[in-house]
């Protein structure tokens, strides 16, 4: 029997978004995406490869969680939101490559937590 690898993303829904991020603890990156978005699919494939070790990966399908997309004012996909210990830190606007992603995460975490959009 072939064992399938564990998916790199944990899906988040409207009802459990904040609870699951807080339970995870540590640093977490949330990808807001849509199955119909070509750029989203590319970022979704690339993130697990370039993500710094120890960062949790979560995904929100905006077609299923439209309330979250509206609440966070997500107008462009894909969107990356950074959390530490369940606290929002930043919307990351960076190239999804090892060095720029790591630098963007470090810079955002160096600042105090912010209010969610």
pLDDT tier at 8, thresholds 50, 70, 90: confident
- Closest by CA to 47, choosing from 9, 90, 93, is 9
- SS3 of residue 69 by DSSP: helix
d(CA 110, CA 116) in angstroms, rounded, equals: 17
pLDDT higher than threshold 80 for residue 6: no
* Assigned token pair, 46: 């690339």
**Domains of the chain, each with CATH number or no CATH:** 10-110 (3.40.30.10)
Q: Judge whether residue 107 has pLDDT over 50.
A: yes
pTM greater than 0.85 (yes/no): yes
Contact present, 35 and 61 (Cβ < 8 Å): yes
**Higher per-residue confidence, 64 vs 4:** 64
Residue 92 to residue 5: CA distance in whole angstroms? 28
pLDDT at position 30 is 97
The answer, yes or no, to whether residue 23 has pLDDT greater than 60, is: yes
Tell me, what's the pLDDT at 22?
93
Q: Check residue 7 and give its pLDDT.
A: 60
Confirm if 103 and 50 have CB atoms less than 8 A apart: no
33-89: per-residue pLDDT in tens?
999 999 999 999 999 999 888 999 999 999 999 999 999 999 999 999 999 999 999
């Amino acid at each position: 029997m072939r064992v399938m690898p564990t998916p790199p993303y944990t899906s988040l829904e409207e009802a459990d978004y904040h609870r699951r991020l807080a339970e995870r603890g540590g640093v977490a990156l949330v990808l807001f995406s849509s199955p119909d978005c070509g750029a989203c699919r590319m970022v979704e494939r690339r993130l697990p490869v370039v993500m710094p070790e120890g960062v949790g990966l979560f995904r929100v399908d905006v077609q299923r969680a439209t309330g979250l997309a509206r609440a966070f004012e997500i107008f462009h996909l894909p969107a990356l939101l950074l959390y530490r210990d369940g606290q929002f830190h930043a919307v990351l606007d960076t190239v999804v490559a090892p060095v720029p992603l790591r630098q963007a995460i470090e810079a955002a975490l160096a600042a105090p937590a912010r209010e969610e959009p």
